[in-house]
Chains A and B, each alone.
Chain A
Amino acid sequence: MMLHLMKKDLREHAGSWLILLLLQSALLGAHSYQATQFADDHSRLLILPRVELLFLPILSHLLGHQLFTVELRTRTILFLEGLPVSRAQAYVGKLLLGLLVGVGFMATAYGWLIYFTHLVQPVDLRLALDVAARAGAVALLILSVGLLAAVLGRFRIPLYLALLVAAGLYANGGGEPTELGPFALLIRGFGTTTDQLPLTSLFGTLAAAMVATIVSGIILTMREGSVAILLGERMRHSEKVGVAAVLLSIAAMAALLAEHRPKEPFRFKEDGVVSRRGLHSSVSIQSRTLSSTTSRQLLERSTGLLELLAERLDIDQLPPLFLAGDPGRDPGTFERATLNKKDGVLIRAALDAEHRAPADLLVFAATELLDRHTRGRARLEALGWLREAYPFWLAEPDATLAWRRAIYAADRGFGPKDLDRWHQVEESLGRPIARGLAWSLLQTIAERSGPAAVDRLAKVTLGAPVSPWLWRSLAMNRAGNDGLLVREAQLNLDQLELAWQEAIQRERSAQQAILATIPKLDGEVRVEAPTSLSRRIHYQLALEPAPPEARFFLLWKPLYVLNDPLDEASLERSSFEVAATKGTLSRSFSAGSNLFVAFAMVVPALGCEVRFGAQRWVLP
């Protein structure tokens, strides 16, 4: 009787099968034609996954619709009650028929493609079996999920959405969707090699297909099929919205949980690692080229500075610091890697060179640690100068050179009045000069109000524990430097300006001779419009006196429509000889685009690269 019912279903939907066969043939034909027209290196067997992924979902949906949905929704399924066959037999027959028809369709496609591929490349039995196993497993899964969806009636769309959400969460959690079950079968080595059959994916896919089929069977037979009939009814509007809301909430919560899932803490796994844990800090150094004695010396100095920083700022525990040796880097260039928030800070540097004079590296590291400690609050513009200067000040740098840089900044018109627009200061002067300026301000405060005032300033801004709450962050952003200075250093901005000017004059007199050797740097950029679409950049440099055999850089970067501080590492640099004071940038830009342009040059007297002529353009 079961066979009889299957034959009846087969006959009843024969017209539909024919149409589907036509559709499949059209798809195969189009792909095959394309393969003959655009000869490339891809195996023709790769057409099978494309057809499978496009055609099978449609087929399984229609099969489910015809075999189950219509009968359940219109309740003609109750007609089966009157037949001399058990409900289970009738439903299992329908399920089997659905799977058989689907597999039959895929077998047709498979047969054609094996033949079609055989015309241009050898297809041995092993490859044919490999492809059959992969494609067959995927086909069974898609069909069984399609049939399950049909049985789930009004909850089929939520099922599809839930699968999508699950895939999204899998990808969000670091998983690679192409490595997942059916996708791995259709992607990894499909049709090209037999060495890579992913058995785990194969069995996983088959198991998933079996589970879907069993669940369908259970729903269809549970309480004599009334569950399936109930599910088959149409979903109300509010039900749809409710299901969507539940799915969205689950997705959002799961994403949140995945983000906060505890992970194994970072640690160096390579050879050549030395570590030290202090009272408030911990430092690990990894280098294959440094001797262990040198590594330990560097470790001592690092821990020394970090312990001092933590004590002055009253920080109980600084995030861990990891220093990795990278001999290929230029000295003075540091790269911060991205670690999980709680793992600390990893910095790569040319430790072979840095260990002799590690001050810059340690200041950089301390700054990054403060960023992490303050959850990024130290990067806010109003605190930028303190973030830049305090670790530097603590490291007790060469005061003469630092004052020289501050004098240079003062000559360019920058001073204490610019503390609340620190992003612009850094962009105009470059980071080393800006740091010199910031250091000089701290030094002035220390001279006027005592070193304790400097520590207090830093402690309330960089050392205070940061609340994760919204109100706190907003409050911090609104705090200007004037009030902060009055409160912690008993100086307002005007008083600081006066004191700083005096100190600058004093230092200027002391360093007059060397200051005279610093060339006057000026640069001008002109935008030309050769056509209505293109813009060209002409530059002109004015140096007095022009240093012989020096080089200068034109720094530039296309900008987004909204402004932000520049990432120094992302700036494009075109290098020129100083003798060529005029020229044209060999790049064309689009009219109306945003562009940053600046000049830069290493000035030996200042011991760093100096930036000038910085400008943000909306190219006219």
Chain B
Amino acid sequence: MSWVLLKKELRVQRPFVLLLALLIGFGVVDGLVLAYPDELTAWAILGDLDEAGSEAASMVTFFVAFAMGSGLLWREREERTLEFLDGLPVSRGQIFASKLVAAMVVLAVMPLGDGLMAVARAASSTHSLRPTIPWGLIASGMALRLAMIWVVLCLAVALSFLGRFAWIGLSTCFFSFNLLLRFEPAATLFDPLQLTAPKFRYGRWDWPTSALAWQLSLSLALVVLSAFLFARAGDRLWRHSHNPASPRASFWLATASVLIGIAAMAYVGFGDSKRPTVSYAEVPTQVGETLHYQMKYPSTLGGRAERVLAGAEGVHRQVMSTLAFTDSTTITVNAGRSRGGTAGTAMGNTIIVDLSTSTRTETLLAVLGHETVHVYAERLAKGRNRGNTFAGLFNEGLATWVEFERFRGPIHRAQSRLFSAAMWDRRDVVLSDLLGVGDIGVKVDHGVIYPLGELFIDALIRRHGRSAPGKILAALGRDDAPTDLEPMEAWREAFHHAGFDLDGVAAEFTRDLEGRRRNERKALQSLPRLFTEVSERDGTYLVAVVPSEPQDYWVQCRFRATSDTPPSEYTTVDLLNADTCTIRWTRLPGRSFWYQVGIVDLRTRQALWDPWVEVNVD
């Protein structure tokens, strides 16, 4: 490496350094001047090095590093200054090394700035619970961010030989990588953002050693390849990419590579010939109609469908009379598979009822009734009855309340309310979880809105009568309803407009739950509490549950990779004739995973889940 070249490279990158200095300057003004640094909370100390800002900051770092790396060599070629450099008494290897080192030095300004900011924040906000600067955490965060920059820089330099198609190359890598993750989750080891995702154990930053080893090895290979191409064959590649006379050839090259990528993924995804394949004949679809429903169903479920159709008008009448609605629009019912393991779903004017979930006509009619309520609720509110957790609580509560009131036996309602009281008693759910905009599923279970919502609607009806839900929905959907309100404020306004008080209903609801907590103490204490132990053996995670076979219930475990994994991607395991749930680590390839256990009532199939638990793994 030549010092003169290095100095020249650093000089060239001065505008970039200024830009980074500007970014850091904004951080200083925002965090240390406009705010009181001694009032900062622990979450703010590590700033961009940590969870609060890591994802956004990592993305910015990624793109800045890639932008710099992809232009590092290419720009010399593009501006024809490479020919001048070739005329100097320095080798291509020296030029390459100087550029790489200069880029790394410039990019290191970002983590160094973040680190210095973290030290300043920590030093100015100490107190008796946090008396010292967390040097180890800050140093780890900086080191891992530097590692990420290095990996991205190496990737960018390697892709820069595609010339102006470097960014297309990056996007191809991105999409291919995401597709690959679906089939081989362990590939996450090659995700550069994994390097900076913070994990803490034993009060220290838990380094992603495997990912670091793999990615540093890969970056080394990329550097060697890039150095070779720069010294030997790179000019030819650039010529293809740069020649304005042959843009079509370059375009075809890029398009062909994209098509090859898609074809390869299609093969991996759909064409795994090693797996046995089974195909069944298409089942013809039949249609049945009543006054208010048009049902499409596979002919293999014709018997159930006909029985449901026979009772459908009765369901419609009961829903209408219970809620004092009047509407005669025909509802389309598809006998398909419902979302997230539920027996039914409503969307717009269409209902999906999964006829395969039960042979009992009463059960299927209850599902139809539940979903019919959703259809009319949405129609009354003109689609404005959505948007936050409370909307879910209200909608599912209303549908469940009608379902229990009209279509289910008392045992279902009793069990549901017992589980609600248990959640309340254990403080797994608090009122602010339900009235806020947060995601209750992250903490416990999305399904809590059914039993708790049923109690909320019960409180509303006790306080204001059966027509109250309809009035509130109509208030939401009225033409002159304000449209610029936050979701919760819109609900509050609708309650107010209908002549009710949301807080009063919430108070009634909490009083009811408190009463149940007091009065049903014995029943609550008789609910089985589950104790768990997690271990790992031969690449399998094992969750041992005690008791594994409680009386009147069965036990289920659920797993998810991260706190924001959607429920449709949870893995659910029934604990039947066993005391341990197992899952392969490849299904949960991160450095931590989440699990929860719950009991399911044998008679009503209602579930009571414990909160999710995160497990850090090596």
- Report which A residues bind B (CB closer than 8 A): 15-16, 19, 22-23, 26, 30, 33, 39-43, 62, 70, 73-74, 120-122, 188-189, 192-193, 195-196, 234, 237-238, 241-242, 244-245, 248-249, 252, 270, 288-289, 324-329, 375-377, 379-381, 420-424, 427, 470, 473-474, 476-477, 530-534, 536, 560-565, 572-575, 584, 586-594, 616, 618
Contact = CB atoms under 8 A, between A and B. Distances in A.
B43 A531 contact: no
Contact of A23 (B42, B206, B255, B338): B255
Contact of A588 (B39, B506, B533): B533
A377 B339 contact: no
Contact of B427 (A30, A325, A572): A572
Contacts of A593: 201, 614, 616
Interface in B576-618: 592, 610-611, 613-617
A380 B38 contact: yes
Contact of B15 (A39, A238, A289, A427): A238
Interface residues of B, number: 93
Interface in B532-590: 532-536
B592 A590 contact: yes
B534 A533 contact: yes
Contacts of B336: 39-41
A345 B563 CA distance: 33
Given A242-B15, A470-B32, A562-B42, A584 B262 contact: no
A328 B510 contact: yes
6 contacts: A237-B71, A324-B503, A329-B510, A533-B615, A562-B45, A587-B611
A121 B332 contact: yes
B506 A41 contact: no
A144 B168 CA distance: 22
A536 B531 contact: yes
A122 B616 contact: no
A430 to B, nearest CB: 16
Contacts of A589: 613
A423 B532 CA distance: 34
B201 A591 contact: yes
Given A288-B501, A326-B503, A618-B202, A564 B41 contact: yes
Given A238-B15, A241-B15, A270-B496, A328 B39 contact: no
A421 B124 contact: no
**A327, A533, A565, A591: most-surrounded residue (chain B CB, <10 A):** A533
B348 interface: yes
B119 to A, nearest CB: 13
A242 B14 CA distance: 12
Interface string B497-520: 000010110111111000000000
Nearest to A191: B348
B16 interface: yes
A474 B30 CA distance: 16
**When A and B form their complex, which 8 residue pairs have the shortest distance between CB atoms, in order from nearest?**
A328-B507, A592-B201, A421-B128, A531-B535, A562-B42, A192-B348, A241-B15, A477-B38
A245 B21 CA distance: 10
Contacts of A23: 255, 258-259, 262
Given A43-B347, A327-B504, A421-B128, A15 B248 contact: yes
Given A196-B383, A470-B37, A532-B536, A244 B19 contact: yes
A584 B531 CA distance: 9
Nearest to A327: B507
Chain A at the B interface: SS class: mixed
A252 B19 CA distance: 14
Interface in B25-57: 26, 30, 32-33, 36-39, 41-43, 45-46
Contacts of B345: 41
Contact of A196 (B247, B262, B382): B382
Nearest to B510: A328
A122 B330 CA distance: 13
Interface of B: 12, 15-16, 18-19, 22-23, 26, 30, 32-33, 36-39, 41-43, 45-46, 71, 75, 78, 124, 127-130, 134, 137, 200-204, 206, 244, 247-248, 251-252, 255, 258-259, 262, 266, 270, 296, 332, 334, 336-339, 345, 347-350, 352, 379, 382-383, 425-427, 431, 496, 501, 503-504, 506-511, 529-536, 592, 610-611, 613-617
A282 to B, nearest CB: 22
Q: Select the residue from A241, A328, A587 with max chain B CB neighbours within 10 A.
A: A328
A590 B595 CA distance: 11
Contact of A380 (B39, B426, B533): B39
B239 to A, nearest CB: 16
Nearest to B125: A477
Contact of B244 (A19, A70, A616): A70
A195 B381 CA distance: 11
Contact of A586 (B19, B339, B531, B533): B531
A514 to B, nearest CB: 29
A586 B508 CA distance: 30
B39 A534 contact: no
A74 B36 contact: no
B483 to A, nearest CB: 9
A160 to B, nearest CB: 12
Q: Which of A62, A121, A534, A594 has the most CB of B within 10 A?
A: A534
A590 B17 CA distance: 42
A377 B39 contact: yes
Contact of A375 (B36, B349, B431, B611): B36
Given A40-B339, A234-B78, A574-B426, A328 B503 contact: yes
A602 B352 CA distance: 52
B110 to A, nearest CB: 14
Q: Which of B12, B130, B251, B337 has the most CB of A within 10 A?
A: B251
B39 A473 contact: yes
A590 B613 contact: yes
A563 to B, nearest CB: 4
A70 B247 contact: yes
Contacts of B504: 288-289, 327
Contacts of B203: 561, 594, 618
A16 to B, nearest CB: 6
A587 B18 contact: no
B529 A586 contact: yes
A591 B592 CA distance: 11
A533 B536 contact: yes
B34 to A, nearest CB: 8
Contacts of B426: 574
Nearest to B383: A196
Kindly name the residue among A22, A122, A289, A588 whose own CB sees the greatest number of chain B CB atoms within 10 A. A588
B533 A564 contact: no
Given A23-B255, A192-B348, A534-B533, A16 B248 contact: yes
Nearest to A196: B383
Contacts of B534: 531, 533-534, 588, 590
Given A288-B501, A586-B530, A477 B347 contact: no
Contacts of A188: 383
A120 to B, nearest CB: 8
A592 B615 CA distance: 10
B43 A73 contact: no
Contacts of B614: 590, 593
A563 B42 contact: yes
Nearest to A478: B38
Nearest to A20: B255
Given A249-B22, A288-B504, A564-B129, A19 B39 contact: no
A591 B266 CA distance: 41
A522 B427 CA distance: 24
A536 B544 CA distance: 13
A192 B347 contact: yes
Contacts of B23: 248
Contacts of B511: 328
B585 to A, nearest CB: 12
A542 B366 CA distance: 52
Contact of B352 (A41, A375, A618): A41
Nearest to A531: B535
